[in-house]
Structure 1
Amino acid sequence: MPQDLLLRPGTAEDLPALAALHLRVRDAAYPLMPRRVHDDADVTAWVAGWDLLHSEVWVAEAARAPVGYARIHEDWLEDLYVDPDAAGQGVGSALLDLVRARRPGGFGLWVFVSNTRAIGFYRHHGLVEVTRTDGAGNEEREPDIHMAWPGATG
């Protein structure tokens, strides 16, 4: 993990940088993740429209720049993205630990079947597979897996 890693709540001022990060991660993740179906402008507008009153966005920062983020809505981890240059350095684990602390009763997420790296990461951190789909319900029309963290025990 970067020594100067800071996890902090995201603000509206962070959204343009998070949109750029999202685009960078998605493009670098191909072919583990399918190609994007939205252009840069659409993704930037989508991120700019995130409702920070009803969703939590957490920014992972190193050297005063975002290197990852997590977005939680109710009991769903909607996004967890780490800059390709920071991958394998503990940023994703730190964000996931934060999500587990914020949602001690458990949460779910969706991951593409093709994203074997993410599936392995989530399994390593105690998430379990709930169900698989043929992808008919997502924009990319790619098979995906609903995974869940069952929550803290004891």
Structure 2
Amino acid sequence: MSSDEVLLRRAGAADARPAADVRLRSYAAALPTVRCAHDEVDVRDWFVRVLVPQCKTWVAVAGHDVVGLLVLNGQELKQLYLDPPWRGRRLGDRFMALAKQQQPDGLSLWRFQVNGPARRFYKRHGFVEVERTDGQRNDEHEPDVRYVWRPRT
């Protein structure tokens, strides 16, 4: 199945756990050296109680399976995760187009410094690095980078 055949839609309550599972698998694959600040039970609970009900959350669905997610909270892009087999299939590009459509005045996000592939992805989509930290403000205590995207005028 190509990424063009994948449906992007707003997440509902039934999508919270499958979306959390995508986040857990993606995080483990992309960030094997980064300490997980929250266990799997806490992540799933947070998706069910907080993330899906309180933030604008979209899922990518292939057949009956959630294979990706995008979470926006105002102008902040909180999460963009793809199931590992779906990386490199332009699904992230589709989510990025959706995020920019939803927030045409601009977006910001934080990513770990160690996550080179994600940082390259965001730079390719016009995000500019505006701040680096030592990680003391995030739960993982991992050095991170803040990026901002503003539309061209």
TM-score scaled by length of structure 2:
0.93
- Unaligned 5+ segments in structure 2 are none
Note if contact 2:31-2:115 (Cα within 8 Å) is conserved in structure 1: no
Correspondence 1:21 to 2:22: yes
RMSD: 1.4
TM-superposed deviation, 1:147: 0.3
- Secondary structure at 1:89 match in 2: coil
Matches within 5 A, 1:44-59: 44-50=44-50, 52=52, 54-59=54-59
The equivalent residue for 1:9 is 10
- Secondary structure at 1:71 match in 2: strand
TM-superposed deviation, 1:62: 1.5
Correspondence 1:135 to 2:128: no
Question: For structure 1, which segment, 46-55 or 19-28, has the greater mean C-alpha deviation from structure 2 after superposition?
Answer: 46-55
Structure having the larger proportion of residues in helix: 2
The equivalent residue for 2:94 is 94
- Unaligned 5+ segments in structure 1 are none
Note if contact 2:111-2:118 (Cα within 8 Å) is conserved in structure 1: yes
Note if contact 2:13-2:53 (Cα within 8 Å) is conserved in structure 1: no
Note if contact 1:27-1:35 (Cα within 8 Å) is conserved in structure 2: no
What is the identity percentage for the equivalent residue pairs of Structure 1 and Structure 2?
Answer: 36
Correspondence 1:147 to 2:140: no
- Secondary structure at 1:88 match in 2: coil
TM-score scaled by length of structure 1:
0.93
Note if contact 1:57-1:69 (Cα within 8 Å) is conserved in structure 2: yes
Letter in 2 for 1:68: G
The equivalent residue for 2:77 is 77
Matches within 5 A, 1:100-119: 100-119=100-119
**Aligned mates of 1:124, 1:81 — CA distance in 2:** 17
CA shift digits 1:2-23 (9 cap, x unpaired): 2411110111110011111111
TM-superposed deviation, 1:52: 4.4
**Aligned mates of 2:97, 2:145 — CA distance in 1:** 21
Note if contact 1:26-1:35 (Cα within 8 Å) is conserved in structure 2: no
